[in-house]
Amino acid sequence: MLANETEWPAMVAGRRSCGKFRIIIGMMTANVTRGTAGCWWRTYWSQVAIGVLALGPLVVLQACRPVTPAVAPLRFDPSETIREVPVAEKAVALTFDDGPNEPFTSQILEALEEVGAKATFFLIGTNVVYDPESARRIVKAGHTVGIHSFDHPHLNTLSAEAVAREVHMGFDAIYAGTGVRPALFRAPYGKIGPGLADVCREMNCLIIGWSAHGNDWTESMTSEEIAEQIMAKVYPGAILLLHDGNETIHGGNRKQTAGAVRIIGQRLKEQGYRMVTVPELLAMYRPTQFANGVQIRGVTWMPVSVRAGETVNLRYYLHYPAGFLPETTAVFVHFKARRGRPAFQDDFVLKPGMLVRKSTVRVPKDVPAGQYDISVGLYPVGRIIFRDRIPVACTALKTDGNAVILSPPLEVRAATP
């Protein structure tokens, strides 16, 4: 069960992926599979189905080959706060901070069960010590638990020693209370303190932030308002923050949040989203690698549905091989209707140190409504895009010649009159 996975690096090594098959699509070569650790993924039957349907002849099903931690780089640096995970499929992670806190933790567990969601609870150590039974209920229901410090201080006001103590004591409280060794940390108030990255790296703990919150600590918020605030910020790979507790106050009222979980769960299901734990979301992540060694480790965009004339925010997660000269290569990002020419684009030249590129694209006002595929590829600077594209060496995504096609497509609605 991934939910209670104890050792993050072991999970990175693909222990869970060894189900039945691993799917490798496209022009993967023996060199690439052997020479780089970036070319491995875990997959789900849905992707197998999509891959088979879309790319029959190019699909190679391989018996699962576990990747050992020694050659698999961490896909996420423990010192960087993960606020979202670039994934292709419709999945989000609901997260709850400040518990355990009864009776609200149990109310939220019930709501999660009703909507068929698995979530991640970031527990405060002192609250676990106070009510370990509640913490065990979370674990027993198949959810993931992470550390949310011991005492909920502003870590940025503490010394490195005190920060380390908060992480260690939070870990110890959860381990003693539940038997789970947490591998995720979320900073109270999102404030990163001195030495936090070091202590998290030592403990193989990833720092998890959030891409959106429900403002559910504001007492006047109704369940409907919390749900609306969350649903406005949903996109594949989003990490959504709610609360089952109120810092270290025992019994802090979170009734509205429990109600919001029912609404959010229902709406997400209607939109085809799965609600997964943070480790499950991280495990869905798959990099795409090009023949020159450049990896596009993921792209996120939001919103996924937009009116013509409005903007889309994109983030590209990039990785260069050793010795690579970024300025020699450009990325093309084309938005095109099925069988159509690119209607608009977001091309850019790679730069040294550019590991995350953020951009905003305005959808032209005169673009017809419809589904727009987002295709992403590389070409050498100064060359003709279509003739000289750099081949995709390996990817788990759909490809179109030498570009990968992200899914879901961007939905463009008619411009407001």
Q: Which residues bind Zn ion (CB under 5 A)?
A: 97-98, 188
Options 216, 243, 244, 334, the catalytic residue: 243
Strand partners, 25: 59, 395
Between 124 and 314, CB nearer to Zn ion: 124
Between 98 and 216, CB nearer to Zn ion: 98
Between 5 and 97, CB nearer to Zn ion: 97
Question: Does residue 103 have a cis bond before it (omega within 30 degrees)?
Answer: yes
Between 97 and 131, CB nearer to Zn ion: 97
CB of 294 to Zn ion, least distance (A): 38
Between 182 and 188, CB nearer to Zn ion: 188
CB of 148 to Zn ion, least distance (A): 6
Options 97, 131, 346, 373, the catalytic residue: 97
Spatial separation of the C-alpha atoms in residues 317 and 354, rounded to whole Å? 9
Torsion, Cα 32 33 36 39, to 10 degrees, reads 100
CB of 190 to Zn ion, least distance (A): 9
Compute how many other C-beta atoms are within 10 angstroms of the C-beta atom of residue 20: 11
Between 153 and 409, CB nearer to Zn ion: 153
Spatial separation of the C-alpha atoms in residues 160 and 237, rounded to whole Å? 32
Q: Determine whether 243 is an active site residue.
A: yes
Between 84 and 97, CB nearer to Zn ion: 97
SS3 of the chain: the string is CHHHCCCHHHHHCCCCCCCCEEEEECCCCHHHHHHCCCCCCCCCHHHHHHHHHHHHHHEEEEECCCCCCCCCCCCCCCCCCECECCCCCCEEEEEEEEECCCCHHHHHHHHHHHCCCCCEEEECHHHHHHCHHHHHHHHHCCCEEEECCCCCCCHHHCCHHHHHHHHHHHHHHHHHHHCCCCCEECCHHHCCCCCHHHHHHHCCCEEECCCEECCCCCCCCCHHHHHHHHHCCCCCCEEEEEECCECCECCCCCHHHHHHHHHHHHHHHHCCCEEECHHHHHHCCCCEEECCCCEEEEEEEECCEEECCCEEEEEEEEECCCCCCHHHEEEEEEEEECCCCEEEECCEECCCCCCEEEEEEECCCCCCCEEEEEEEEEEECCCCCCCCCECEEEECCEEECCEEEEEEEEEEECCCC
Q: Determine whether 216 is an active site residue.
A: no
CB of 245 to Zn ion, least distance (A): 8
Q: Which residue is nearest to Zn ion (CB)?
A: 97
Between 5 and 98, CB nearer to Zn ion: 98
Residues marked as catalytic? 97, 243
